[in-house]
Structure 1
Amino acid sequence: MSTLTRSALTVFCSVVTRRLAPSLGPLLGPSSPALRLPVLHQSPSNILIPLASYATKRKMATKLTDAERQTELKALLDAGWKMVDGRDAINKTFMFKNFMDAWSWMGRVAMSGEKADHHPEWFNVYNKVEVTWSTHDCGGLSARDIKMATLCDDKFNKYK
């Protein structure tokens, strides 16, 4: 492995490890090489992937209450979101001027979803994007879905 590849890999593993597990700092120490971390998989190109067990735990989502459905969910339904038949989920179709606007919007939503650790089910064809939100952890709609659906609408308004 070249020195440049090893340096890049060390930085990558260090950044990933620090991002996934800020609490590992005391265990690893500031001078511990990231390459000594246990790995889940070593790919054919020698990229080391840290174990997922280092990921920090987030609070478990809970389904929306009846009161939340009457207020927060109703506001989204009034804004064009629809309940999905046969499951506790909402969806909406967004139409853009062209493919680049649709793709750009999807990138913005994806970045926000990654930060929130909540990701959509979506389908894109040219200027049309169909988005579905539901929280699999709780088996239905949660506050995370309301937040992300609202974010979708807010980001879409910039493309009108």
Structure 2
Amino acid sequence: MAELLSDSQADEAVAKLSGWTRGGKEIERTAELPSFPKAIEVVGKVAELAEAADHHPDIDIRWRTLTFRLSTHSAGGLTPKDFQLAARIDEVLSAAR
């Protein structure tokens, strides 16, 4: 199981990410894509990354707006796995614009 981060460690880690915020035991980012098909393409790429990492975000799809939420449920909060996947999601989003 991944090691649970302290509040200060989680705050420090989220500060290094672009567009992510922390709310208690999860981090969240919302992104608007140019079109609905592009948003679905991003979701597909994130799904592949998540499956490879065996760490799956909650994803809300609202037309071309995506909201990603990450938390390591098995650990009861935030772990390095969340921030590693968040950084990979950022890469996917950057490439999609």
TM-score > 0.5, shorter chain as reference: yes
Gaps of 5+ in 1: 1-59
RMSD: 1.5
As a proportion of its length, which structure holds more strand?
2
Partner of 1:147: 84
Q: Distance in 2 between matches of 1:67 and 1:82?
A: 14
Post-superposition CA distance 1:105-134 (Å, at most 9, x none): 000000010011000111101101111000
Match of 2:20 among 70, 81, 86: 81
Q: Distance in 2 between matches of 1:93 and 1:73?
A: 14
Residue 91 in 1 paired to residue 32 in 2? no
Q: Distance in 1 between matches of 2:60 and 2:10?
A: 26
Q: Distance in 2 between matches of 1:66 and 1:92?
A: 18
Match of 2:42 among 105, 108, 120: 105
Structure of higher RCO (CA pairs closer than 8 Å, 6+ residues apart): 2
Q: Are the structure 2 counterparts of residues 89 and 75 from structure 1 closer, same or farther at C-alpha, using a change threshold of 3 Å?
A: same
* Poorly superposed stretches of 4+, deviation over 6 Å: none
Larger Rg over CA atoms: 1
Gaps of 5+ in 2: none
Partner of 1:3: none
Matching residue's letter, 1:81: W
Q: Distance in 2 between matches of 1:67 and 1:91?
A: 17
Partner of 2:66: 129
Q: Name the count of aligned residue pairs.
A: 97
Structure 1 length-normalised TM: 0.57
Matching residue's letter, 2:13: E
Matching residue's letter, 1:83: R
Q: Percent identity?
A: 30
The answer (yes or no) to whether the contact 2:28–2:67 under 8 Å persists in 1 is: yes
